[in-house]
Amino acid sequence: MGKTVLPLLLIVVMALPVFVRASQEGSTSPLTVVLLGEKPRVREGARVTVLTQIAQQTSSILNARVVDMTVEKESAQATANRAAEALAAKPSAVIIFSGFADEAAGIADESVRKDLVAAARTFGKHDIPVFLVPSSTALGAAVSANLRLAAEESAATYVEPGTEIGGKPYEEALAEIAKKLAPAPTVAESSVLAPPVKLASEPPSAQTSGSVQVVKGAAVQTPATIYMVPPPALKSFDPRETPGPKRRIGRPKKPAIEN
């Protein structure tokens, strides 16, 4: 019986690290990002082209699993209607592209802002961060400002695309989102402050002209309090009392003239 149990115990012990490693890998699931709204566009000279690789770029830059739910020329109202559907993907973050279709259709800014706020708050109720990004680099300043206001009202984060000069405006925007989603850096053990120590004053017999505080259990002590004693006052200076041969002060007498 003992000979049979021993090999079984060895097999269990050897297989234990494998099970632990598998459970750790399963617990660290990748980030899930949902792309919502309309497909973003980039202005290239006189043309405005649709970005077809936005999902691949998002997955690469954010190192995330991406669920692309963008629709070409989708209005903000349609985006708000599909927000609840996007919750089924259990996103870790949501990126909403909007602005181009509503600007082209002449939809009022107030109506667009209301729909975007409703869409963002759908995710905000579940503590899911939302990033609102203009869907075109050719949007007017008023439309971009309206999107910024919608982000402020809904507690979302407004992210402006990069400049077209570099040729990668949305990659720059995704890089900015990646910074905001990055976990906070952990504090190194060496930089952790030590717990405060109690300070004890020296006994009166050891004190001199000041009080010295000694840190118990540490080789550091606070500097002593030093009292400066002023030098004695200088005596009044009289040049006639300077050392050296004394000179007669006054009018010298005329020498006597002998006949």
> pLDDT digit string (tens) for 64-117?
999 999 999 999 999 999 999 999 999 999 999 999 999 999 999 999 999 999
Residue 197: inside a domain, yes or no?
A: no
Q: Between residues 56 and 8, which one has the greater pLDDT? A: 56
38, 100 contact by CB (below 8 A): yes
Q: What is the mean pLDDT of residues 137-153?
A: 94
CATH for 48: 3.40.50.1110
Residue 205: inside a domain, yes or no?
A: no
* Amino acid at site 76: A
- pLDDT on residue 120: 96
Residue 96: inside a domain, yes or no?
A: yes
Confidence band, pLDDT 50/70/90 cuts, at residue 49: confident
Residue 225: inside a domain, yes or no?
A: no
Residue 208: inside a domain, yes or no?
A: no
Encoded tokens for 245: 């041969």
Residue 145: inside a domain, yes or no?
A: yes
Whether pLDDT at 29 is above 70: no
Q: Of 183, 184, 24, which is closest to residue 93 (Cα–Cα)? A: 183
Residue 7: inside a domain, yes or no?
A: no
Q: What is the mean pLDDT of residues 121-128?
A: 95
Residue 88: inside a domain, yes or no?
A: yes
Domain tally for the chain? 1
- Domain of 56 in residue numbering reads as 29-181
Q: Is the pTM of this model over 0.85?
A: no
> What is the per-residue pLDDT across 159-204, written as a single tens digit (0 to 9) for each?
999 877 767 899 999 999 999 998 877 655 445 555 655 555 545 5
Q: Between residues 182 and 223, which one has the greater pLDDT? A: 182
35, 70 contact by CB (below 8 A): yes
- pLDDT on residue 222: 55
Q: Which helix (H) or strand (E) holds 11?
A: helix 2-27
